[in-house]
Chain A
Amino acid sequence: MATKILTEHIAVPGIETFDVYRKQGGYEAVEKAIKTMTPEALVEEVKKSGVRGRGGAGFPMGMKWSFLAKPEGVPRYLVCNADESEPGTFKDHYLMKNLPHLLIEGMIVSSFALGANKSFIYVRGELMYVIHILEKAIAEAKAAGFLGKNILGSGYDLELIVQPGGGAYICGEETALLESLEGKRGNPRNKPPFPAVKGLYQSPTVVNNVESIATTPWIVNNGGDAYAAIGIGRSTGTKLISASGHINRPGVYEIDLGLPVEDFIYADEWCGGIRPGHKLKAVVAGGSSVPILPANLIMNLTNGDKRLMSYESLSEGGFQTGTMLGSGGFIVFDETACIVRNTWNFARFYHHESCGQCSPCREGTGWMEKVLHRIEYGHGHQQDLDLLIDVAKKIEGNTICPLGDAAAWPVASAIRHFRNEFEWHITNPHEATQPGAVYKGDMALV
């Protein structure tokens, strides 16, 4: 039985309006938090819940909140990261479009907990229609006294600002996002200082993902312990998974963390299996940045146990046989998918999106794209695979922000697990470049 913490009311007609949302119990968390709880108690509940950053990093949210510096007389900021741009990920888009008030309620509760009086929702600019939905919802919440001056007569003031981005994957990185919010190019900052000490306008700032913030009303209403009781081990609660690719039922699903991967792919409740007549070849489980795994390794651990949809189980085996939960962007490939072409596609993405600040990333992503392009188009050399691994290694860990790692991992993992397929492209360039040609050699199809 799946718990619906975020999406319980998503199908209620008119849930995007204040009145309907309120009738479903909406904004009760704001009343409870502001009238009966202290900010410290709120931070404590979120800590107890064990909820981890849902944008991809998986860092415990309560701990992140507790790092926020609180110098006298300096404003503090909460910024919601709604720059969702990781290929394979579309859960925040879905959540904001359908449940704008859930995010706003979470922003009010979270801002109160952090002592922020001006908070921002930074939404990728392409989602301008979602920005309009959020702005309308904010106006409704303000008219009802849940935003603005003296909320519910408590003396607490909060202004919520929706900020559009301009189209740049890098602005999903929190310090690049802050630069962008200050009206600059999205170049990530060196850390330290961390945003918790010097963030927006050099003031203490917390940056949290949409889905993370959207969990806080439930945590306030039901308690951190109740949240922690859902899920498995240190992967508490539920997670939105964006499922795409060669499955019968693509879409966004809220799952209890700990669900077996096999159930998620094959059960009718979730992905509903691989499209008719095809077999599972590979999965990218957490957005394009995480290592791709072949069918056998995504379904089972090397000891034969079922792999689970949790932070720990997905990363079991390290990068040799494991991957990461990341943002929950779950991309499924059947046997018709060409791993070489997809790897080139992802490499092109990272090259395009590199901000250009650090040379290993700026140059390395370009070289990886070029070398993969020549393999895909039948001009690969035998030494190219080692060259790609060498370039990936030299990017990884040598850049200011994690985009470099994110660019290196898909390439390195694709070669690790699908080396035969790359070699087939290099040694059979004529065959491999025929329209629709796909490697049909050794593969552990499921």
Chain B
Amino acid sequence: MTTETNNTIQFTPERLEKATAIIAQYPAGKQKSALLPLLHLLQEQEGWTPAEGMDYVAELLDIEPIEVYEVATFYTMYHVNPVGKHVIEYCRTGPCCLMGGEEVYAHLRQRLGIEAGQTTVDGQFTIKEVECLAACGMGPVFQVREKYYMNLTNERVDEIIDELSK
């Protein structure tokens, strides 16, 4: 594992410590298993997974950068493009739509004045459409970073946006 790096993006000392502990969990020579956890760590720090950060992760794991890129682009949770401060990921799958999800999400888009996949001009909000979040009995559902917001209504959406805008 390389600890010296020329990358412009590096983990903070605390995150580097965490990354080192994650890597040490796997059997010798299987450090690539740490790739998904480290990408989450990178995204937690940077808000998204910029190329320089992915190169840094490749160095930490002693793998080729392409091995990181191909994984980051396969999994939907990694934002390979910049996103807003708050990323709202709403579930567009069947059960949530049965509970009025389409109307609620339309309200959300209208309220923020953006479509899914876009970021507000002030950089505060990004909306993403995602598939089933395993909370179907509490639909409609969206997630903002780690937090789940469930049983959404138009009014509830307004409250949440107001709160996040503070």
Contacts and interface: CB of A to CB of B under 8 A. Distances in A.
Contacts of A125: 36, 40, 75, 77
Interface string B122-166: 000000001111111111000100111000000000000000000
Contacts of A331: 94-95, 98, 136
Interface in B62-101: 63, 67, 70-71, 74-78, 89, 92-95, 97-99
A92 B137 contact: no
Interface string A235-268: 0000000111110001110000000000000000
Interface stretch (B3-11, B26-34, B108-116): B26-34
A93 B135 contact: yes
Interface residues of A, number: 57
B54 interface: no
A446 interface: no
A10 interface: no
B78 A87 contact: no
Contact of A345 (B39, B97, B130, B143): B97
A342 B130 contact: no
A416 interface: no
A227 interface: no
A90 B135 contact: yes
Contact of B77 (A87, A126, A169, A242): A126
A130 B132 CA distance: 16
A439 interface: no
Contacts of A183: 32-36, 61, 63, 67, 71
A128 interface: yes
A250 B138 CA distance: 7
Interface of A: 75, 84-90, 92-93, 118, 124-129, 159, 161, 163-169, 180-186, 201, 242-246, 250-252, 284, 288, 329, 331, 333, 337, 341-342, 345-346, 348-349, 352-353, 355
Given A288-B94, A349-B132, 17 more contacts: A86-B132, A88-B136, A90-B135, A90-B137, A92-B134, A163-B33, A167-B78, A168-B75, A181-B33, A183-B61, A183-B63, A184-B71, A185-B70, A186-B74, A245-B95, A250-B138, A349-B131
